[in-house]
A and B are shown apart, each in its own frame.
Chain A
Amino acid sequence: MTDMVSVKGLNKVYESAGRRVEAIGDITFSVARGEFACIVGPSGAGKTTLLKCLAGLLTPTAGEVLLDGVPVTGPPPGMAVVFQEYGRSLFPWKTVRQNIDLPLRQKKLPRAERDRLVTDSLGAVGLADAGDAYPWQLSGGMQQRVAIARAVAYEPQVLLMDEPFAAVDAQTRADLEDLVRSLWRSLGITTLFVTHDIDEAVYLGERVLVLSASPTCVLDDVPIGLPAERDQVTSRSTSAFAELRTRVHRGIQDAKAGRRTSGAAA
Chain B
Amino acid sequence: MKVLDATRPGKAPAAPAPRRRAARPRIAPLVGIVLAALAAEIVPRTGLIAGDALPPLSSVLAELGRQAGDAALWEALGRTVRTWAVGLVVAVVAGVVVGVLIGLVPILRAITASTVEFLRPIPSVALIPAVILVFGTGFESGVVLIVYAGFWQVLVQVLYGVQDIDPVAHDTARSYRFSVWGRVRYVIWPTALPFVFTGIRLAASVALVLAITGELVIGTPGIGQLISVAQSSGATTEMFALVLVTGVLGVLVNTGFRYAERAVLGWHPSVRRSAGAR
Contact = CB atoms under 8 A, between A and B. Distances in A.
A125 B168 contact: no
Contacts of B175: 55-57, 75, 79-81
B266 to A, nearest CB: 9
B10 A145 contact: yes
B233 interface: no
B115 interface: no
A182 B186 CA distance: 32
Of the candidates A75, A128, A175, the one having the most CB atoms from chain B within 10 angstroms of its own CB is A75
A203 interface: no
Given A57-B174, A102-B186, A186-B3, A89 B267 contact: no
A40 interface: no
Contact of A102 (B166, B176, B267, B269): B176
Interface in A64-101: 75, 77, 79-81, 83, 85, 88-89, 91-94, 96
Interface string B51-63: 0000000000000
B7 A176 contact: yes
Contact of B11 (A83, A107, A130): A130
B169 A91 contact: yes
B12 A137 contact: yes
Contacts of B178: 102-103, 106
B171 A57 contact: yes
B169 A179 contact: no
Contact of B1 (A93, A105, A124, A130): A124
B10 A93 contact: no
B7 A179 contact: yes
Contact of B6 (A80, A130, A182): A182
A94 B169 CA distance: 12
A107 B269 CA distance: 30
Contact of A126 (B4, B168, B186): B4
Interface string B208-225: 000000000000000000
B168 A129 contact: no
B19 interface: no
Nearest to A86: B168
A154 interface: yes
Contacts of B168: 83, 85, 88-89
A133 B169 contact: no
Contacts of B166: 88
A217 to B, nearest CB: 25
Contacts of B169: 88-89, 91
A178 interface: yes
Nearest to B193: A93
Contacts of A130: 10-12
A163 to B, nearest CB: 13
A145 B11 CA distance: 13
A133 B13 contact: yes
A134 interface: yes
A77 B12 CA distance: 32
Contact of A83 (B7, B10, B171): B171
Contacts of B7: 125-126, 145, 175-176, 179
A55 B54 CA distance: 72
B26 interface: no
Nearest to A127: B10
Nearest to A147: B172
Interface in B136-160: none
B6 A178 contact: yes
Contact of B186 (A55, A80, A91): A91
A138 interface: yes
A126 B179 CA distance: 30
Contacts of B278: none
Of the candidates B12, B166, B267, B269, the one having the most CB atoms from chain A within 10 angstroms of its own CB is B12
A123 B269 CA distance: 28
B4 A80 contact: no
Given A83-B172, A106-B182, A129 B9 contact: yes
Given A107-B177, A136-B269, 10 more contacts: A57-B171, A75-B176, A81-B175, A83-B168, A91-B186, A93-B268, A125-B3, A129-B11, A132-B12, A179-B6
13 contacts: A57-B171, A75-B174, A80-B175, A83-B168, A89-B171, A103-B177, A103-B178, A127-B10, A129-B10, A129-B11, A130-B10, A178-B6, A186-B3
Q: Which 7 A-B pairs have the closest CB atoms?
A: A133-B12, A126-B7, A103-B176, A88-B168, A178-B6, A93-B190, A179-B6
Interface of B: 1-4, 6-13, 15, 166, 168-169, 171-172, 174-179, 182, 186-187, 190, 193, 267-269, 272
Interface of A: 52, 55-57, 75, 77, 79-81, 83, 85, 88-89, 91-94, 96, 102-103, 105-107, 123-130, 132-134, 136-139, 142, 145, 154, 175-176, 178-179, 182-183, 186
